Amino acid sequence: MEELPGLSGCRILWGEKCNIMSIREKYQITEYCHHFLREYIHEGDHCIDATCGKGCDTEFLCRSVGKTGRVYGFDIQREAVEQTRIRLERAGCADQAVLICDGHEKMADYVKDQAAVIMFNFGYLPGGDHSVATRSRTSLKAVQEGLGLLKTGGVMSLCIYSGGDTGYEEKNTLLAYLKGLDTKYWLVIVHSYYNRRNDPPLPVFVIRLA
């Protein structure tokens, strides 16, 4: 298990070293998504983190693609981009990252490569201003743009939150859209923390089949 000094959150491994991590941590949504995505990412791939936040997912992607890969990271908050940059520098994997302080709904303006993995972790910056959060209209546009950039065999992950400050609009909008995706080209898998109460987060994966 690797963890950066002074930066809580993301662990890197869920394999032979996972005995160091508690079982509960292993199934926390971020870690769960990393575990799922690992087999889809290879050295040299291009990936997108659509919501950098504190940089946990960006770091996971940068480590996974290695020195020859590239990771595009988006966040509308300068504070988040800066936290991510510092995190990547400390982890020694800043070279493969391109950090963009702009809305993910404009990702196709910046990214011209096909992506192996695209990650969305919706909501607000942990410890930050809850009113600066993802919104259903821009989230939907970003997911649509992202699907256009995903390569065949690639996967998009979406950590979707609801209830509390977040409400239900974003979740309902995204799930309604994903439900309608053509089964010839897309496989949508919605996982569920089935026995948890009070609007548990929803890990969703969209795989491009053709």
The answer to the question of residue 173 lying near ligand SAM (CB under 6 A) is no
Which residues ranging from 35 to 54 are in contact with ligand SAM (CB under 6 A)? 51-54
Binding flag, residue 64, ligand SAM (CB under 6 A): no
How big is the site for ligand SAM, counted in residues (CB under 6 A)?
Answer: 23
Q: Angle at CA 67, nearest 5°, toward 65 and 69? A: 45
Burial of 68 by CB count in 10 Å (0-12 exposed, 13-18 middle, 19+ buried)? Answer: exposed
According to the binding rule CB under 6 A, does residue 136 interact with ligand SAM? no
Q: Which residues contact residue 163 at a Cβ distance below 8 angstroms, ignoring those fewer than 6 apart?
A: 198, 199
DSSP sequence for 109-150:
HH--S-EEEEEEE-SB-TTS-TTSB--HHHHHHHHHHHHHHE
121 lies in the site for ligand SAM, by CB under 6 A: yes
Q: Which of 69, 123, 154, 201 binds ligand SAM (CB under 6 A)?
A: 123
125 contacts ligand SAM (rule: CB under 6 A):
yes
Q: In the set 64, 96, 134, 166, which binds ligand SAM (CB under 6 A)?
A: 134
96 part of the interface to ligand SAM, by CB under 6 A: no
Binding residues for ligand SAM, rule: CB under 6 A, are: 51-57, 74-77, 80, 103-105, 121, 123-125, 132-134, 138
